[in-house]
Amino acid sequence: MADGQSDLKDAIERLSREVALLNSHRFVRMHDKPRKMLMFQFLRGMAFGLGSVVGATILVSLLAWWLSQIEFLPIVGQWARQIADEIGQIR
């Protein structure tokens, strides 16, 4: 019985060390304070929004340029060429 108790005591001590290690992790400490967590989430949202806008702008520009290269569809080709000309004037 004493051997089982010492194994249990060792397991509890190891578990206590692991919990202390996890509690000292930066991620846990940051989310422990609501103000820091809100600031982190706000900055994360701003970065995501900026990345989405820049990515969509590049994608639409490339799509409009690609469509302007298509001459065999008169309506789409002409419309895409107008968009490409507008984009070229902005630069």
Could you tell me which residue, 58 or 5, shows the higher pLDDT?
Answer: 58
Q: How confident is the model at residue 40 (pLDDT cuts 50, 70, 90)?
A: confident
From residue 68, alpha-carbon distances to 18, 37, 54, 59, 62 in Å are: 61, 46, 21, 14, 10
pLDDT, tens digit, for every residue of 53-83? 999 999 988 888 887 777 665 666 777 778 7
The whole-number pLDDT of residue 54 equals: 97
Q: Where are the alpha helices (DSSP H) in the chain?
A: 2-23, 26-32, 34-68, 74-90
The whole-number pLDDT of residue 15 equals: 92
Measured at the alpha carbon of residue 88, what is the angle toward residues 85 and 91, in degrees to the nearest 5? 155
The whole-number pLDDT of residue 71 equals: 64
Structure token pair of residue 68: 């302007």
Mean pLDDT, the chain, whole residue set: 83
pLDDT, tens digit, for every residue of 17-37? 998 888 888 777 777 778 888
The whole-number pLDDT of residue 63 equals: 86
